[in-house]
Structure 1
């Protein structure tokens, strides 16, 4: 096969769609692509620590994929393309250790539904990526595989809980992968490393084969990649019922979005608060710039407020609803195990007091008010544009921040993302700016339930007019 690249972007920084086309056109072989990524991992991972396990079978499957191309077989949309997977997602015959010594050496017999679907589309599992202990925190650090670093600045976090995945893609060690999202965990890491990610409507993508399964009403699995078209492709591959996850009932063929053929101008509201907590002015300006760009493209755009978010702070609602369920999952996992095997977040979670019944009921009512508030909003607008994080990627280990003059703890970084988990709304994280320190700043494109086509379309418009030039870290 010819080994050439017409646009001069290195193979390891190509998006998955381009790699699949290059393979189909026989410009480059799956084996060559796999070797490039394995070499990239070997060279960069010691510093970044995004990859925790390389799949032993990756090259062998790449050779099989190459043979299929040469035979002229019918090829799937990701044929021969490597992909990575967060280490809380089961992978058959490849370690899935969940960021904890408690699960060291755990080797699943079967793939999670999401992994299986990526393979059925022709993708080849390359590696597993790092995460916080039990997939629970905004930094990817644990006792088993250590701390992941941000490729843009190794002294900063790539986020959590899908931080290893975001770092791997940003650094060119993987073109596309799978993460999970309880409150922030595919969107925050994407924002911190300058890639893109999709948290689809709750239930669109089955959670089968992913731990912990509770509180599953808030958990999502979603694609992380380099381009909006990759998210769209992955969403088509991943979504739809699997007969095991009772939340996954909507077929991918149904989409409530306006998309490209709405026959009218799309209506976009933008906001950075109130209702999300404090936001750094630099981040707020990036959201406003994205709103202005959409207006210049002909969309109807205006600044908005959502009263429901101001009445019920979604982060407080989420904390009251999920603590007891997460504690129970942690207790089950740690029965009979030494406290020395637990890292700080598991210890912290297990030490928290249970939510009182009165607070729990109030939080359930507040969650319903939030859903109703968004339902009213989406009667008037097609999209909500906001920030993902209130600040760019922060230094490792920071637990308190001064944001726009207000002191907050680290949980407040989830202020604009957790409302989508409480309500189940879909959202995309994508870069649209750069901080004064040269770090990515992202915006969040939010749609109504089951309206993924709308946010994918609007995100693609933003992608087409983005003035960001330094798309990849200089590593």
Structure 2
């Protein structure tokens, strides 16, 4: 029963609680036991929430009393360690913030609790949430449960590893350029970066550059992502970007008899892509044809004109660097890890380059707008390669040598444009590693991409696979 519980999705666990087939205490204990068994090797969990088991007992009493239950009642959840949790350590992957104990929950955490979720633990991340591997001086390196010699990604890599390994059914990550979708792809789970501002960033650090940061759900099923999003979205009166009161777009519901139209692409415009990954994207597109979706290969000329990763780098360094300087002021070199030192050493972007990058960002947004005037959704790769070995700084991808930042080639355009994207598994590499695809939608079109993701999940050749730990 324990294995069944730790690999059940959050929706199923909530149903088991609601029908009194399993108690919240049993579910919580199963996950605590799983953490004890596998976390020493994976190092995804950095802090167990004090009182998690007691909270499960209170949740059980509410069930037995016959009170109204939230949609996630009695379900454990985890949160990346950059997201504030009242009374539970939030140390941001840095000795600078060691022993930091927030007084309040981040809005996203508070909303998960309001839905009945129980905070189980905090998960590992890179220093300051800022790299494609989850490693830092405070809590060390997280490993991929599919292959411990490989990374689960960053910056929400601890979260992705915890969920993939059965230590958590659902959780919260953050995304500046790749960080909920990339780790999901490296561990074969599902995640969503919603439209910018849909989910408030209140209680999450760093906030700069705010216009690129997102918080999003990570889980093992599309329905869990949809359920979490339905609870997380909406304004909180604190994050000015979070202003939309509409959680779900009408999607194709406005024209119920129109055929769904989906485009697919792996480039040009994203950088080089491994043929195995490109083949998985094409396979996902072809599979949608079999369920009645109109599918075409497409291109976005704006992405070919302005390489989004270059645009992002010119914009965010100028905006992010002051936050790093403020946080590290007066601190010794021994308290700083790789990315803090790298960010502080980068030259400032000239005003001309910054303005040019802003104009390029507008062209990218316009390019996506044009695409979505013809298509309901777009399927791309998430990462150009499957999960890589720890510490690799340079890759040869389809015959082209690139640095590690190129892993963000297909994800960072959505942060620039603010558009929603779902990452989900649809393939397996020759080495047995997960390969995910990314379903991209127009502004606030989460319902549409969740619908497409649900269709793909129903016909996925890899549904229900878990790492053997």
TM-score range, shorter chain: over 0.9
Partner of 1:129: 123
CA change 1:20–1:287 in 2 (3 A) is: same
Partner of 1:191: 185
Is contact 2:248-2:446 (8 Å) kept? no
Distance 2:248 2:176 in 1: 24
1:215 matched to 2:209: yes
Q: Give CA-to-partner distance per residue, 1:320-372, whole Å, 9 cap, x none.
A: 00002211110110111111100011100100000000000000000000011
Secondary structure at the aligned position of 1:268 is classed as: strand
- TM-score w.r.t. the length of structure 1 is 0.97
Partner of 2:104: 110
Secondary structure at the aligned position of 1:109 is classed as: coil
Secondary structure at the aligned position of 1:379 is classed as: coil
Give the deviation of 1:468 after TM superposition.
1.0
1:290 matched to 2:308: no
Give the deviation of 1:256 after TM superposition.
5.1
Secondary structure at the aligned position of 1:402 is classed as: strand
Partner of 1:68: 62
Distance 2:97 2:412 in 1: 28
Runs of 4+ aligned residues of structure 1 deviating over 2 Å after TM superposition are 256-263
Alignment of 1:444-463 (within 5 A): 444-463=438-457
1:149 matched to 2:143: yes
Distance 1:300 1:347 in 2: 48
Partner of 2:134: 140
Distance 2:269 2:89 in 1: 41
Structure 2: segments with no counterpart, 5+ residues: none
Secondary structure at the aligned position of 1:444 is classed as: strand
1:182 matched to 2:199: no
1:21 matched to 2:15: yes
Secondary structure at the aligned position of 1:380 is classed as: coil
Give the deviation of 1:258 after TM superposition.
2.2
Distance 1:124 1:326 in 2: 33
Partner of 1:56: 50
CA change 1:130–1:136 in 2 (3 A) is: same
Q: Which of 261-270 and 184-193 deviates more?
A: 261-270
Is contact 1:257-1:450 (8 Å) kept? no
1:311 matched to 2:309: no
Partner of 1:40: 34
RMSD between superposed Cα atoms in Å: 1.1
Partner of 1:415: 409
Q: Give CA-to-partner distance per residue, 1:167-218, whole Å, 9 cap, x none.
A: 0000000000000000000000000000000000000000000000110100
Match of 2:326 among 329, 332, 342: 332
1:438 matched to 2:432: yes
1:171 matched to 2:165: yes
- TM-score w.r.t. the length of structure 2 is 0.99
Secondary structure at the aligned position of 2:251 is classed as: coil
Alignment of 1:348-387 (within 5 A): 348-387=342-381
Give the deviation of 1:263 after TM superposition.
2.4
Partner of 1:265: 259
Secondary structure at the aligned position of 2:410 is classed as: coil
Give the deviation of 1:254 after TM superposition.
5.2
Distance 2:337 2:188 in 1: 28
Matched residues, number: 469
Give the deviation of 1:81 after TM superposition.
0.2
Q: Give CA-to-partner distance per residue, 1:18-52, whole Å, 9 cap, x none.
A: 00000001111000100000000011111000000
